[in-house]
Amino acid sequence: MDQHTSRELYQEANEHIVGGVNSPSRSFKGVGGGTPVFMDRGEGAHLIDVDGNRYVDFLGAYGPMITGHAHPHIQAAIAKSASEGTLLGTPTVLENTFAKMLKEAITSLEKVRFVNSGTEAVMTTIRVARAYTGRDKIIKFSGCYHGHSDLVLVAAGSGPATLGSPDSAGVTKNIAAEVVTVPFNDAEALERALTEWGSETAAVLVEPIVGNFGIVEPEEGFLEKVNELAHANGSLVIYDEVITAFRFTYGSAQELYGVQPDMTAMGKIIGGGLPIGAYGGRADIMERVAPLGPAYQAGTMSGNPASMRAGIACLEILKEEGVYEHLDHLGKLLEEGILARADRYRLPVKINRLKGALTVYFTTEEVKDYQGAEDSDGILFARFFKEMLDQGVHLAPSKYEAWFLQTAHTEADITFTLDAVDQAFQNMRE
Ligand code: PLP
Give the per-residue pLDDT at 165.
61
Pocket of ligand 1 (CB under 6 A): 62, 117-119, 122, 145-147, 207, 211-212, 240, 242-243, 267
CA–CA distances in Å: residue 280 to residues 94, 239, 259: 17, 10, 16
Give the per-residue pLDDT at 159.
34
Q: Which of 59, 65, 146, 269 to mutate to test the pocket of ligand 1 (most atoms within 8 A of CB)?
A: 146
The helix/strand/coil state of 81 is helix
Give the distance (Å) from ligand 1 centre to CA of residue 145.
7
Class of domain 72-318: alpha beta
* Catalytic residue (choose from 62, 132, 145, 370): 145
Q: Let me know the angle formed at the C-alpha of 373 by 28 and 170, rounded to the nearest 5 degrees.
A: 60
* CA–CA distance, 125 with 97 (Å, rounded to integer): 22
CA–CA distances in Å: residue 398 to residues 11, 29, 33, 41, 254: 22, 8, 11, 22, 28
Single-letter residue type at 164: G
Give the distance (Å) from ligand 1 centre to CA of residue 23.
12
Predicted confidence pLDDT, tens digits, the chain (430 residues): 999 999 999 999 999 999 999 999 999 999 999 999 999 999 999 999 999 999 999 999 999 999 999 999 999 999 999 999 999 999 999 999 999 999 999 999 999 999 999 999 999 999 999 999 999 999 999 889 999 998 888 754 333 344 556 677 888 888 888 999 999 999 999 999 999 999 999 999 999 999 999 999 999 999 999 999 999 999 999 999 999 999 999 999 999 999 999 999 999 999 999 999 999 999 999 999 999 999 999 999 999 999 999 999 999 999 999 999 999 999 999 999 999 999 999 999 999 999 999 999 999 999 999 999 999 999 999 999 999 999 999 999 999 999 999 999 999 999 999 999 999 999 999 8
* Catalytic residue (choose from 137, 140, 225, 268): 268
* CA–CA distance, 161 with 228 (Å, rounded to integer): 19
Residue 188 has a CB neighbour count (10 Å cut-off) of 12
- Cβ contacts of residue 124 below 8 Å, gap of 6+? 113, 115, 265, 279, 289, 295, 297
* CA–CA distance, 319 with 104 (Å, rounded to integer): 12
- Find out whether 56 and 392 touch, Cβ atoms under 8 Å: yes
Listed in order, the ranges of the chain carrying CATH 3.40.640.10 are 72-318
The helix/strand/coil state of 314 is helix
- Cβ contacts of residue 287 below 8 Å, gap of 6+? 111, 293
Give the distance (Å) from ligand 1 centre to CA of residue 16.
25
* Catalytic residue (choose from 57, 240, 369, 413): 240
Give the per-residue pLDDT at 163.
54
Give the distance (Å) from ligand 1 centre to CA of residue 267.
7
Alpha carbon 121 to chain centroid distance? 13
Q: Whose CA is nearest to atom 5 of ligand 1?
A: 243
Give the distance (Å) from ligand 1 centre to CA of residue 341.
32
Active site (annotated) includes residue 100: no
Active site (annotated) includes residue 145: yes
The CATH code of domain 4-70+321-429 reads: 3.90.1150.10
The helix/strand/coil state of 206 is strand
- Cβ contacts of residue 240 below 8 Å, gap of 6+? 118, 122, 144, 146, 205, 206, 207, 265
Task: Indicate which atom in ligand 1 lies nearest the CA of residue 241.
Answer: 3
Listed in order, the ranges of the chain carrying CATH 3.90.1150.10 are 4-70+321-429
Give the per-residue pLDDT at 170.
85
- Cβ contacts of residue 150 below 8 Å, gap of 6+? 170, 171, 172, 175
Q: Whose CA is nearest to atom 13 of ligand 1?
A: 118
- Cβ contacts of residue 93 below 8 Å, gap of 6+? none
Active site (annotated) includes residue 240: yes
Closest CA to 110 of 281, 254, 264: 281
